[in-house]
Amino acid sequence: MNIFKKLFLLVPFVLGTINLQAQELNLFLIGDSTMSDKKNPEENPEHGWGQVLPELLTDEIGVDNHAKNGRSSRSFIGQDRWKAVLEKLQPGDYVFIQFGHNDQKYKAPSRFTNPFTGYRANLEKFVNETREKGANPVLFSSIVRRNFNEHGTLMDTHGEYPLVARLVAKDMEVPFVDLQRSTEELELFYGLEDSKSLHLHFKPGEHEYYENGKEDNTHLSRKGALLVATLALQDIAKQELPLANYIKEEVKQKEVFSKKE
């Protein structure tokens, strides 16, 4: 094998080594479809807010997104998705924990949890087992749905689940990011019509990915995902968590509520 071929074969290994050395720690994400990576990101208008985090963080931290469509805290554990995260966790890593959308699916026994019993127990499990690994849990309340009533009032759809997440965070002294509150403010800032741009609203033929149209008030457009992720990271920075050192400065300084993008 000549010297040039040897060098060519070594390039991927060397670059991978450099990348590993550059990343000081990893951020793991566990949650549902509002956080998850979406297929065909170049063509697909839908994005999870966890999907865009790498764009907003420095190269010194890796993002490993395990959030998955349709999962609740119960099914995430039952399908061994949490086990897969635990096997990777290293001391100093972070785990973002956001469930609730699918825990309320009372017609799906494999997903439903009672907020004050099963849901709370699962959140406590995530927190305790993260800490046992020497890693850092951060709890999140769910993002709101774009659910305006006939009077133009934004109505809650998550019931007691965000409250339980807050209570677990308080009782276990876990950093808590209230995305329910910040995304409520975001929806209201954009208003009844403009808030559609944060989600997936397309008339038939308007977008080739949704030939028959789409009206989805739960999941996020790329624009919505970037704004939600920015709000999450700004809260992290405000709380002065060590993780804030890995947030790009322009993200910390962005004025989300100064104008509609």
Residue 102 lies in a domain: yes
When divided into structural domains, the chain yields a total of 1
Residue 16 lies in a domain: no
DSSP 243: G
**Which listed residue (150, 219, 255, 258) is catalytic?**
219
The CATH number of the domain where 146 resides is what?
3.40.50.1110
The one-letter amino acid at 160: E
Asked if 126 contacts 103 with a C-beta cutoff of 8 angstroms, the reply is no
Residue 129 lies in a domain: yes
pLDDT in tens, 34-66: 999 999 989 999 999 999 999 999 999 999 999
Residue 207 lies in a domain: yes
Structural domain containing residue 41:
21-252
How confident is the chain (261 residues) per 10-residue block, as mean pLDDT?
Answer: 43 42 82 96 95 97 97 97 97 97 95 97 98 98 97 96 98 98 98 97 92 94 98 98 97 94 83
Per-residue pLDDT, 23: 65
Please state, in angstroms and rounded to a whole number, the distance separating the CA atoms of residues 4 and 215.
54
Residue 5 lies in a domain: no
Per-residue pLDDT, 22: 53
Residue 46 lies in a domain: yes
- Please name which of 70, 75, 61 lies closest in space to residue 36, comparing C-alpha atoms: 70
Residue 8 lies in a domain: no
Residue 10 lies in a domain: no
**Which listed residue (60, 211, 215, 261) is catalytic?**
215
158 carries an active-site annotation: no
33 carries an active-site annotation: yes
**Which listed residue (24, 33, 173, 221) is catalytic?**
33
215 carries an active-site annotation: yes
pTM for the model stands at 0.90
Per-residue pLDDT, 221: 97
Per-residue pLDDT, 24: 80
